[in-house]
Structure 1
Amino acid sequence: MAGASASPIPVAPSGLSRRAQRFLEVAGIRVPVQDRRRHHEARGRYGIPAAEIARAAEFQDRWGGLALPPAPFYEGGPRILDAGHPEGSATEGWSFSAGSGRVSMAYGFMIGPEGEFGIDANRWTPLHTSTEGWVESLALAAHAGRWARTVTKIRGKAVESLDLGGYEPVPEVQGLTDMWWRGEDSLIALYRGEAVGLDAPQCLEAHVYGGLDEWGLHGG
């Protein structure tokens, strides 16, 4: 792909909601990255199991080179999705980098032993069950931000006082440490990853998108 330039995404990867597919096709681009052969070369050099090399290569085939607008938290998320060499052991499990950050950060973005998307801070902190969940969260944030009449950011201890009675989890984001909740006319994004991964409760943050109609709540 030497010399290739960035290009739009004509067809989004399968397995995503219509909202996330539109988000990728409208806001995403593909940029040149190293192909998966580098992972196979690393296997013999570092003794990485074949199954882990294949997992990194599959990620690269599906997501490698994908550049999206900055996320509303985590300093914008990875600049470009790009699989690194697997690291780990048979006892601890294997993970690999999901791409470098947009700025210098105290943690990196990783794909965990079970395919989770998360951050490697003071401890490994899975945010979503899969990369699909991360992309769905980005798409939902863009959608909610466009249609909400109000956006309120709550930080630190105040987040714990949020009343989620009457809200239901948004399943497509596949939330683990992070989660989205849907109410009667609002959406709430809970970002717990930095607070947990960095042992920093002051980093806890919630974004409340209010004044949404039916399309704003469920569009996609």
Structure 2
Amino acid sequence: MTAAPPVSPIPVAPAGLTDRAERYVEVDSVRVPRQGLGKYRERWIEHGIPAVEIDRAEAFQDRWGGLALPPAPFYEGGPRILDADCPEGSAAEGWSFPAGDCRVSMAYGFMIGSDGSFGIDAYRWTPLHASTDGWVESLALAAHAGRWARTLTRIKGKAVESLDLVGFEPVPEVQGVTDTWWRGKDSLIALYRGEAVGMDAPQCLEAHVYGGLDEWGLRGG
């Protein structure tokens, strides 16, 4: 099996992203050489990994593998480089595979779940977004909001539960599961619940409130 072909360090955004996320990928990110998973296929199958799960990992690698994104505003920056690896799990528990190595030593890893969701594997599996597209959309939105907001307020712990979201609407493109984004009249709110849920640590709840946004700042693609 031949190795994956070399790729340009200037990434081309995968199809299906918003204009905002497309700009983020193509302007703020780089693409590094990615490993081809085909060379491991026979060995993984011999170890009982279903071919369909290897196919899922290869599809992820084709779409996202080798993409180095700027650090995320939470989760210690997120994966250093998006990069699939050997699937793990069982038919009973479901299969998942790594989404890329952490930037620092952490108590959890980033995984792609059996349903394609992007999440963290801490004390328990916790999906953050329904897909990797949603994760990337959330990073793009955070970068955009941070650039255009007049104020940024970070709220931590129990105080997060007191946030009033009346009049806010969910931001659909981030495909939020445990983590969500909300759009108001002149502000955006990111709710990061993943660590609190996955590690049973309510003190890890965190919200970022981006205020003073005009229509472009609220939408931006």
Same topology, TM > 0.5: yes
Q: Name the TM-score, length of structure 1 as normaliser.
A: 0.96
Q: What's the CA shift for 1:80?
A: 0.3
Residue matched to 1:198: 199
Give 1:5 shift.
8.1
Identify if the C-alpha distance between structure 1 residues 42 and 145 changes in structure 2 by more than 3 Å, giving closer, same or farther: farther
Aligned to 1:178: 179
Deviation digits for residues 37-67 of structure 1 (CA, Å, limit 9, x no counterpart)? 1441333331111110100000000000000
Distance in 1 (alpha carbons) for counterparts of 2:22 and 2:70: 14
SS at match of 2:17: coil
Unaligned runs of 5+ in 1: none
Per the alignment, residue 7 of structure 1 pairs with: 9
Would you say the 8 A contact 1:36–1:61 is kept in 2? no
Partner of 1:16: 17
> How big is the shift at 1:2?
9.0
Question: Displacement of 1:34 after TM fit?
Answer: 1.1
Cα distance in 2 between the residues matched to 1:39 and 1:161: 49
> For 1:134 and 1:205, how far apart are their aligned partners in 2?
17
- In structure 2, distance between residues paired with 1:88 and 1:44: 13
Aligned residues: 219
Q: For the Cα contact (< 8 Å) 2:45–2:51, is it kept in 1?
A: no
**In the alignment, what sits opposite 1:89?**
90
CA distance in 1 between partners of 2:114 and 2:4 (Å): 31
Residue 33 of structure 1, CA deviation: 2.1
Q: Give per-residue Cα distances to partners, 1:93-133, cap 9 Å, x unaligned.
A: 10000000000000000000000000000000000000000
On the 8 A contact 2:119/2:128 being kept in 1, the answer is yes
Shift of 1:4: 5.9
Query: Contact 1:39–1:53 (CA<8 Å) still a contact in 2?
Result: no
Which residue of structure 2 aligns with residue 125 of structure 1? 126
Residue aligning to 1:109:
110
Structure 2 gap ranges (5+)? none
After TM superposition, where is structure 1 displaced by more than 2 Å over at least 4 residues in a row?
A: 1-6, 41-45
Provide the residue aligned with 1:147 in structure 2. Answer: 148
| C-alpha separation in 1, matches of 2:36 and 2:180 | 32
Aligned to 1:160: 161
CA separation of 1:45 and 1:115: change in aligned 2, threshold 3 A: same
Q: TM-score, normalised by structure 2?
A: 0.96
Structure 2 residue matching 1:176: 3-state secondary structure: coil
8 A contact 1:39–1:56 mirrored in 2: no
Letter paired with 1:46 = H
Q: Deviations 1:76-106 (Å, cap 9, x if unpaired)?
A: 0000000011101111110000000000000
Kept after mapping to 2: 8 A contact 1:153/1:207: yes
AA of the residue aligned to 1:167 = F
Are the aligned partners of 1:39 and 1:57 in contact in 2 as well (CA < 8 Å)?
Answer: no
Instruction: Give per-residue Cα distances to partners, 1:141-178, cap 9 Å, x unaligned.
Output: 00000000000000000000000000000000000000
